[in-house]
Structure 1
Amino acid sequence: MIEAGGRTLRVAHWRLDKPSDHAPILFFNGIGANIEAVAPLAERLTERAFIMFDMPGTGESPDPTVPYNPFTMSWTATQILDQLGVEEVDVMGVSWGGAMAQHFALQHPGRTRRLVLVATTAGMLMVPGNPAALSKMANPRRYVDPKFMNEHFMTLYGGMTKRPGSKEDHIGRLKPPSPRGYLYQLVAMLGWTSLPALPFMDKEVLIMMGDEDQIVPLVNGKILNTMIRNSRLEVFEGGGHLFLLTHADESVASLRAFLDAPSTEAESRRAA
């Protein structure tokens, strides 16, 4: 547990005590998701440090006492980095956390090296997904009712069911958020959009999307790719909303290729 930004938050980090030539990854999770849900990704990236925290009211972080927004949580994330002794990070976010990652990179460009956006959108100005999937995504029963989750898993997450045992493994990693924690995450992004600021994004950006995502359709990734001048779009064939886990080998290979690539001329000028 770390006290940061006036909040108590559960923070997890991997390999921060080991020497590395790579910047750590600061990861922002999807709505309602706890650290354990994405731990397999952190464990696969053995050559670099990885930092993640449970949002207020999710996982083991205590309930929020007051609402928050992307500005305050991005600032809170810098307080966590300060306490961990980390100056610069590669920022990554999935779904709801992809919006947080965009905001962090825009608010704290000096602490952001590169940006990875996974199955996400530019916020309120997005192309909505399948209504059946969205209605179930917004229903907190998916965390607290195993029968509901099992029944609607394919609608929610698509390709996850194609790997034997993967659905049960993922469900077993989830811990329900508190009602207040879930509500405050929903409220935090009301009215938020990055779209007007994206043309000014001065970072190398990787956008990763699944072509069978029922929650965040591929067209949203294409919009991000069009608006961010230093971006590239990678589409995972047969990927649902959780392709980061269902297509783990391909996802990790894509991440490494992007994060380890030599700096562009623009990045070199900024570093100088």
Structure 2
Amino acid sequence: MSEAMNGAEVTMMDVGGRTLRVATWRLDEPGEHPPVLFFNGIGANIEAVAPLAEALSERPFIMFDMPGIGGSPEPVLPYNPFTMSWTAAQLLDRLGVDTVDVMGISWGGGMAQHFAMQHAARSRRVVLIATSAGMLMVPGKVAALSKMANPRRYIDPDFMKRNFETLYGQGLGKSAGKGGHMARLKPPSTRGYMYQLLCMLGWTSAPALPFLLKQETLIMMGDDDAIVPLANGKFLEMLIPNSELVVMEGGGHLFLLSHKDESVAAIREFLDSPASRDEERSAA
């Protein structure tokens, strides 16, 4: 087991016609909290966000590498948000999990939105981190986006180091966590990376959010994010009926790591807050 995966059970599972590398934390331990189903950012393997699963130690966690990412084999066929949400639901069935709290960061925030709408009955609450409504978004800085679309940021360590601050903002670029984060990244395959890019091509949640995303939703954004500017979080807050926005001051795209303590505290407070009347009615 990787040093970045302390406490995780990691297995290869055949799910919905795909083989996926799956990591779970504390899934078989007794507890009062539903598991967290986490969707990662584009090209990022499970290890990149493993510290969050370790920090929220009172909750079970479920993560998986997208096809061609991390330890999951290359995809044969492309996929889209609908088919991958279905695959994630099939994974929950295999793991014997009914209800989850859904989280996603960046690209994975789009998947989290789609999953919560497509599988509303299985999604208790939603946490959206440094993300947008898809194609209807305020774009980031051109310099950052051009590097974001280049798989060299994973394949070439020197490229990553040279462009880290451009990609992720000063919020993490000068922090002590910079080297540790890069050490956790594993290069995706070119096909895996491109299929992940294509998955969200033309997708937007904006028209559906006011009507289909009814869960209590926490939106977390950094005010120094060069990839997904803060305006996108404000747009999501406007569209999602039961949502609240938390802004990490000085946070770049990876404020989840640079502002770890504040981020974990905000997530924990949100997930532990009393159920609203809407949630109580849905549970009934």
With normalisation by structure 2, the TM-score equals 0.95
Distance 1:85 1:104 in 2: 18
The match for 2:278 is 266
| Residues 155-210 of structure 1, C-alpha deviations (whole Å, 9 max, x = no match) | 1112113322x111001000010000000000010110000001012110000000
The match for 1:98 is 109
The code of the aligned residue for 1:271 comes to A
Distance 1:117 1:183 in 2: 23
Distance 2:186 2:67 in 1: 13
With normalisation by structure 1, the TM-score equals 0.99
Which runs of structure 2 are paired with 1:43-192 in the superposition (5 Å)?
43-158=54-169, 159-164=171-176, 166-192=177-203
| Residues 12-55 of structure 1, C-alpha deviations (whole Å, 9 max, x = no match) | 00000111111110000000000000011111111010000000
**Alignment of 1:32 onto 2:43:** yes
The match for 1:198 is 209
**Alignment of 1:250 onto 2:262:** yes
Distance 1:80 1:229 in 2: 29
Structure 1's unaligned 5+ residue stretches are none
The match for 2:239 is 227
Which has the higher mean CA deviation after the structures are superposed, 20-29 or 152-161? 152-161
| TM-aligned CA deviation for residue 271 of structure 1 | 1.0
The code of the aligned residue for 1:24 comes to P
Structure 2's unaligned 5+ residue stretches are 1-11
Runs of 4+ in 1 over 4 A off after TM superposition: none
Which runs of structure 2 are paired with 1:2-17 in the superposition (5 Å)?
2-17=13-28
Distance 1:117 1:238 in 2: 18
Distance 1:163 1:224 in 2: 28
Distance 1:175 1:169 in 2: 13
**Alignment of 1:207 onto 2:219:** yes
| TM-aligned CA deviation for residue 144 of structure 1 | 1.0
Distance 2:91 2:270 in 1: 25
Distance 1:163 1:183 in 2: 30
Q: Secondary structure at the match of 2:208?
A: helix
Which has the higher mean CA deviation after the structures are superposed, 138-147 or 213-222? 138-147
Q: Secondary structure at the match of 1:196?
A: coil
The match for 1:236 is 248
Aligned residues: 271
Q: Secondary structure at the match of 2:188?
A: coil
